[in-house]
Amino acid sequence: MTSIYRSRPKRPVDEDDVRQPVSTGGMPTAVPSRGNAPDTTRDWSHARRTKPAGYMLPVSLKWFASLPLEVRPMALVTDYARIANLLALQWDKPAACRAYFDDLISDRRGNRRGFPPEVRRDLLTLRDYYYNRHMSLGQ
Question: What residues are paired with 34 via a beta bridge?
Answer: 37
- Number of Cβ within 10 Å of residue 47's Cβ equals 13
Q: How far apart are CA 36 and CA 93, in angstroms?
A: 39
Looking at residue 14, its pLDDT comes to 55
Statement: residue 24 has pLDDT above 50: no
Q: Express as a percent the part of the chain with pLDDT over 70.
A: 61
Query: What average pLDDT does range 59-86 have in this prediction?
Result: 95
Query: What average pLDDT does range 61-89 have in this prediction?
Result: 95
Statement: residue 12 has pLDDT above 60: no
Question: Taking all residues of the chain, what is their mean pLDDT, rounded to a whole number?
Answer: 77
Statement: residue 38 has pLDDT above 80: no
Which ranges of 41-138 would DSSP assign to H, the alpha helix?
58-66, 74-79, 81-90, 94-105, 117-136
Looking at residue 93, its pLDDT comes to 93
Looking at residue 41, its pLDDT comes to 72
HSE of 67, CA atoms in CB hemisphere, 13 A: 23
Q: pLDDT-derived band of residue 108, with 50, 70 and 90 as boundaries?
A: confident
**Is 50 strand, coil or helix?**
strand
Looking at residue 18, its pLDDT comes to 54
Query: What average pLDDT does range 99-110 have in this prediction?
Result: 85
